[in-house]
Structure 1
């Protein structure tokens, strides 16, 4: 009759392999048991330990729809899944309602660029699509562009105030030092981005050409510009100005 000692693996390596295989089988049994008891209509994905819930795909009773939720393995980084380079498409549930699905497209050559493009899709084959492209280049620059497909024009509406780090504008009040004498005031502290700068100015007045005979701007830089006004008297004059860097 064989003894229990004779049934043990002959060496530590064999024993470790047997233990690893046993642990793997236990994890698979746990995962199978959880899948067997999962809610009908819901797909749950567990980690190798068979207990940590990583994701769940199923109906959302509160909103009457469905969704994909990612869960465990989110500490310290709140991220548990990736999509490889490729395209994720969206369209109505009913077939045939749109000719071109909307999409999110990621592409990179892992050397020179990394692009993420969002497209609007199109109802009819001849309709133009709107594209938003977020791009990072190897030279350290980053770009965001909005256009139609095949570089066609695309309108851009801003519901709010548009601001940009290369544009500054404002208003100054200039009191001429004398009649018909060009008088200036310096605009400073702009901190604009760009290498070449252009400035514009116009008087806020209803007597242009009769009392206000001249408005100008000089020496535009990233930091500011000089605004000028000339009039036939010494009344204070408001001048609107703008500086753009490119």
Structure 2
């Protein structure tokens, strides 16, 4: 059996190198043990400039821009309810905008204070039983300005709703840059040739699919001689599938009548 003395390196240089390597490993092991039980106040990916920092004092992760001082994003606890939140900063022109996500709400506002009184927001709300709402709010430059509010709502009875209104049920202008259409409105035109002068003549409009529980019909003639030759127009029997359109005139000239069926 070889003796322990026989296992040592043959020359002193090799022996010294092995001892030095062993000392380094022991130091690293001690440092690792101290680190595992130490509290770190600040850890950064770089000492300055663009970097990510883990900050114990704010209990947050922070992202800094190239100048080393502009905070671009921060992930940390919310002061209000103890939950977590994310704040980000944009570099738009002319005003830098920020967004904050926390407690089920996403808010938007300029980074600089005093530019707007009320932040814009997107929030989610539900009682986990009767409703599930997604609410978009415009924000306001002045505190007295009414905000525009868009609510997307799903109810427990299986219906879905979209509501557009001003804050506190104030009036809200709704502009559509295009053709407005709704499934509870149908419209068109028919040509009616009277069967005889001064005799009401009707045409049935069919094939509609108007949404609603109650229905109304409107009719108006496309004529330049109302009252003198076209003496009457009407609409009866409105349903989800159609209506009856009437025309009376002093002669038998074919006349276009525009109609509309509304469901409520």
TM-score normalised per structure 2: 0.63
Report the CA distance shift for 1:41/1:141 in structure 2 as closer, same or farther (over 3 A).
farther
User: C-alpha distance in 1, partners of 2:133/2:163?
Assistant: 11
Report the CA distance shift for 1:85/1:171 in structure 2 as closer, same or farther (over 3 A).
farther
User: C-alpha distance in 2, partners of 1:97/1:161?
Assistant: 36
CA contact (8 A) 1:196 1:245 kept: yes
Tell me how far 1:95 sits from its aligned partner.
Answer: 1.3
Tell me how far 1:237 sits from its aligned partner.
Answer: 0.4
- For structure 2, list consecutive stretches of 5 or more residues without a partner in the other structure: 1-43, 53-62, 66-71, 74-100
Q: How many pairs does the alignment contain?
A: 178
Q: Which one of the candidate residues 97, 103, 115 is aligned to 2:115?
A: 97
- For structure 1, list consecutive stretches of 5 or more residues without a partner in the other structure: 1-34, 44-56, 60-65, 68-82
- Is 1:111 paired with 2:108? no
* Runs ≥4 residues deviating over 2 A: 40-43, 83-86
Q: Deviations over 1:2-42 (max 9, x none)?
A: xxxxxxxxxxxxxxxxxxxxxxxxxxxxxxxxx959xx747
- Is 1:121 paired with 2:157? no
Aligned counterpart, 2:224: 206
Report the CA distance shift for 1:180/1:95 in structure 2 as closer, same or farther (over 3 A).
same
User: C-alpha distance in 2, partners of 1:120/1:217?
Assistant: 42
The structure having more radius of gyration, on CA atoms, is 2
RMSD: 2.3
Q: Which one of the candidate residues 147, 151, 154 is aligned to 1:136?
A: 154
Q: Using CA pairs below 8 Å that are at least 6 residues apart, which structure has the higher relative contact order? A: 1
Aligned counterpart, 1:159: 177
Q: Deviations over 1:97-142 (max 9, x none)?
A: 0000000011101111001110000000101100000000011011
TM-score normalised per structure 1: 0.67
